[in-house]
Structure 1
């Protein structure tokens, strides 16, 4: 595995540190008035979800791990366990539902997601960046209200609340960005 300097760590990098696999969530480069510069890295453990703040000087070497990414199809959920199937080998894997966090409601039947593996161990799952959802409830369209850049609340079929432009009405399908949990466009 390649070793990188402490100042080369970027958000999203997966590092082997203290015998565990950690994902860099937030990286701040700090240059104090006295002493050497360092990177303040907030990391999340990929196996148990615990968090850790660590300082890395530029001279420190850390192992950067490359995860293998495979597309998996979502099949079903049972008691908080999500079941996915590899579309090439038809092997099934199970992951905890809390791995997706607050993006869990956007997971739909048959949806293709990317699962990251480290030596045949599934560690992380990412949804597609954009998902089509139907609006179940929102305020009616009011004529002449499109001049200002205003948004109104809307409830989606999966129960998530998002802000939508005033011209979008009830029972319409919209595209939602799963990273920012915001309205992107009409479907």
Structure 2
């Protein structure tokens, strides 16, 4: 694995530190008036989710880990485990449902997601950036409500509540950004 200097750590880098795998969530480069510059890095453990704040000087060496990304197709869920199939080898794997976190409701049958592996261990999973959902329930359009930035709450078929523009009605398909969990556009 390549070693990088402490000042080269960027958000999203996966590092091997203190015997664990950590992803850099936030980095702040500090240059105090007295003493050498350092990078203040907030990291999250990929295995157990714990957080850690660490200072790295430019002379400190840290191991940068490359994760292998594989496209996997979602098949079904059973007993809190999600079953995925590798699109190339057709092998099936089971992962805990909490690997997707709060984005779990957006997972649909047959959806292809990207799972990141370190050796043969699945560490994280990410959904496509945009997902099509159907609006199940929303308030009716109020005539004359044309303020530029007015939104109303809507409940989607997956159970998630998002804010939508006033022109979106029930039984309409919309596209939701899974990273920000916000309305993106009409489908």
Q: What TM-score bracket applies, with the shorter chain setting the length?
A: over 0.9
Q: Deviations over 1:29-50 (max 9, x none)?
A: 1222222211111111111222
Q: Displacement, 1:58?
A: 1.2
Q: Is the 8 A contact 1:146 1:167 kept in 2?
A: no
Alignment check: 8 A CA contact 1:162 1:182 kept: yes
Deviation at 1:140, TM superposition (A): 0.9
- Where does the alignment leave 5 or more consecutive residues of structure 2 unmatched? none
The separation in 2 between residues aligned to 1:169 and 1:31, in whole angstroms, is: 53
- In structure 1, C-alpha distance between the alignment counterparts of 2:177 and 2:66, rounded to whole Å: 26
Q: Superposition pairs for residues 148-159 of structure 1, below 5 Å?
A: 148-159=148-159
Q: How many residues are aligned here?
A: 187
Structure 1 consecutive aligned stretches of length 4 or more whose deviation exceeds 4 Å: none
Partner of 1:27, secondary structure, is strand
Indicate the residue corresponding to 2:88 in structure 1: 88
For 1:73 and 1:171, how far apart are their aligned partners in 2?
27
List runs of 5+ in structure 1 lacking aligned partners.
none
Query: C-alpha displacement at 1:25, in angstroms?
Result: 1.1
After superposition, residues 37-52 of structure 1 pair within 5 angstroms as 37-52=37-52
Q: TM-score, normalised by structure 1?
A: 0.96
Q: Distance in 2 between matches of 1:98 and 1:88?
A: 25
Q: What are the equivalent positions in structure 2 for 1:45-60 lying under 5 Å apart?
A: 45-60=45-60
TM-score normalised by structure 2 residue count: 0.96
CA distance in 2, matches of 1:36, 1:81: 48
Q: Deviations over 1:7-40 (max 9, x none)?
A: 1111111001111111111111122222221111
